[in-house]
Amino acid sequence: MAATARAPDTIRRLGGGGPRRIAENAGLVITHGEGAHLVDTEGRRYLDFATAMGVAAIGHGHPRWTEALSRQAGRLAACVLHTPEHAEYLEALAEVLPAGLERAALYSGGTEAVEVAVRLAQSVTGRRHLLSFTTGFHGKSTGVRFTGHRHADERSWLGVDWVHDVDYPICAGHDAISYPECAGDGAAALDALDEYAAGLEGGVAAVIVEPILGTAGNLPPERHFLRALRELCSRRGWLLIDDESITGFGRLGTVFAASWYDVAPDILVLGKAIGGGYPLSGVAAGSELWDNSLFAEPSATSSSYGANPVACAAGLAVLDIVTGDGFLENVRGTGARLAAGLRDLETESPYVAATRGVGLMLGFDLVDPETGGLAGPELSQRLFLSCLEHGLLVAQVPRVRLNAPLTLGAEEADAALEALAAALAPGAVRG
């Protein structure tokens, strides 16, 4: 049997740990990608609204990115000395980073970057506690996997007492069109956070936040929450870590969510879309943090793959694309087109509720028409497969995440809406 046909069995048999849930649920083997599409072994094409959980934000096989990678791979792929690619990339990145965060350390995965961000905050402040938000997600390493109220049993078993989570004020009652009118600022959640923090011996080093909860289902917070959180952090002397692993590099129609929400973080985590599919991540902060931290020493921030020339070439190509003519306008325009279609879908489909999002970070809940509640695993799986049969891969169910490629065109957006309308039509799946 050809390796492609055997792939699922081989991965289950030889892969460490459980295979990816979404791959198991889809049951497909993908041979390649073309722009906004994935193509399977049978030649069937799927609009890729999972984009490898936001990594493939410039779509698949973008010519500018592909050419930059191939050229650099043949020239110099790894080097422990200074390279022009590293310098050139830092210069380009500094142009788009929020004011005051012009210095960036480069890594190869989001979790690694979050670890550095947390250590930076702890070492600068001399305080140890980290506050995060319930159902947020920042990675799976020993330090950060306990953020967002994940693995709580393991956290107490290991005696990790410096990672905490408090409620995130999810915006209710606004879809992606009306969200800018949301007047909430998460005041109740912030009061609770403040009260909780007051009881932490040793003090709070930082609060880490996703501008929009991604893994939890593309759930935006109350519109003015991040500004209010910024103010609270400044009043208390806590550092604000803005984890833009998903929202960064154009997903909201601005380069960073920080500018969409008009908020100035102390530390910015960069990941996923930053490399367009090549492993790259980063932590950006101002000089006063880097120079007063454990990372000030030579080699203190380095890692084997950090700032390797191919990653820098990939990052530079992504930046070129994202800041190029019309790119962010396309995100905003296509996002608005999808948002309007989702509003219609919510009235027409008995399975769809709570459509939401910003730019091309959109989502909705799959509901069970019989109970009115969130769809259970079986119904969710049938609806997920129904979407696939109609040519659309969504990132997750039942809190559906729609992370389209940011290069999506109007016709592709319409095709995705047609697929959703057919896949989730009344009676589309039978019990």
Ligand X SMILES: Cc1ncc(COP(=O)(O)O)c(C=O)c1O
Nearer to ligand X (CB atom), residue 241 or residue 367: 241
Q: Is 53 one of the binding residues for ligand X (CB under 6 A)? A: yes
Counting every residue written for the chain, the total comes to 431
Q: Confirm or reject binding of residue 242 to ligand X (CB under 6 A).
A: no
Residue 45 CB, nearest approach to ligand X (Å): 25
User: Of all residues in the chain, what percent are helix, strand and coil, respectively (each to 5)?
Assistant: 40, 20, 40
Residue 393 or residue 417: which is nearer to ligand X going by CB?
393
114 binds ligand X (CB under 6 A): yes
Considering only 24-32, 40-48, 110-118, 380-388, which stretch makes contact with ligand X by CB under 6 A?
Answer: 110-118
CA distances to 109, 139, 190 from 303, in Å: 11, 18, 36
Q: Which is nearer to ligand X, 12 or 140 (CB)?
A: 140
**Eight-class DSSP state of 219:** B
The least CB distance from residue 195 to ligand X, in Å, is: 26
Who's near 375: CB < 8 A, 6+ residues apart? 351, 365, 366, 367, 368, 383, 397, 398
Instruction: Specify the residue, 138 or 150, whose C-beta has the smaller distance to ligand X.
Output: 138
Pick from 243, 365, 368, 412 the residue near ligand X by CB under 6 A.
243
Q: Quick one: 51 or 83, whose CB is closer to ligand X?
A: 51
Q: Which is nearer to ligand X, 278 or 351 (CB)?
A: 278
CA 245 to chain centre: 5
Closer to ligand X by Cβ: residue 33 or 275: 275
Distances (CA, A) of 390 to 35, 46, 90, 290, 424: 18, 8, 42, 50, 10
Given candidates 85, 210, 368, 412, which one binds ligand X under the rule CB under 6 A? Answer: 210
x/- contact string, 128-157, with ligand X (CB under 6 A)? ---------xxx------------------
Q: Using CB under 6 A, which of the segments 21-29, 107-115, 256-264, 408-416 binds ligand X?
A: 107-115
**DSSP run (H or E) holding 401:** strand 399-402
Among residues 137, 116, 294, the alpha carbon closest in space to that of 217 is found at 137
**Counting beta carbons within 10 angstroms of the beta carbon of residue 38, is it exposed (0 to 12), middle (13 to 18) or buried (19 or more)?**
buried
Structure-block tokens of residue 181: 């009118």
Residue 227 near residue 262 (C-beta atoms within 8 A): yes
User: Per rule CB under 6 A, is residue 51 in the interface with ligand X?
Assistant: no
Tell whether residue 379 is a contact of ligand X (CB under 6 A).
no
Residues in contact with ligand X, counted by CB under 6 A, come to a total of 15
From 353, 148, 374, 343, select the one nearest 245 (Cα to Cα). Answer: 148
Q: Is 396 in the site for ligand X (CB under 6 A)?
A: no
Output the smallest distance, CB 248 to ligand X, in A: 9
Which of 178-186, 238-246, 310-318, 371-379 is the region at the interface with ligand X (rule: CB under 6 A)?
238-246
Pairing verdict, β 163-166 and 204-209: unpaired
Among 51, 125, 215, 403, binds ligand X (CB under 6 A): 215
Instruction: Classify the C-alpha dihedral 262-180-335-362 as positive or negative.
Output: positive
CA–CA distance, 97 with 256 (Å, rounded to integer): 8
Smallest separation (angstroms) from ligand X to the CB of 246? 5
Containing 46, the helix (H) or strand (E) segment is: strand 45-49
Radius of gyration (Cα) for the chain, nearest Å?
A: 21
Q: From the list 83, 111, 334, 349, which residue makes contact with ligand X (rule: CB under 6 A)? A: 111
Which residue has its beta carbon closest to ligand X? 110
Mask: binding to ligand X, 247-276, rule CB under 6 A, as x and -?
Answer: ------------------------x-----
Of the candidate spans 170-178, 184-192, 240-248, 389-397, the one that interacts with ligand X by CB under 6 A turns out to be 240-248
Q: Distance (Å, rounded) from C-alpha 99 to C-alpha 49?
A: 32
Q: Centre a 10 Å sphere on the Cβ of residue 81 and count the other Cβ atoms it contains.
A: 5
Residues forming the site for ligand X (CB under 6 A): 53, 109-111, 114, 137-139, 210, 214-215, 243, 245-246, 271
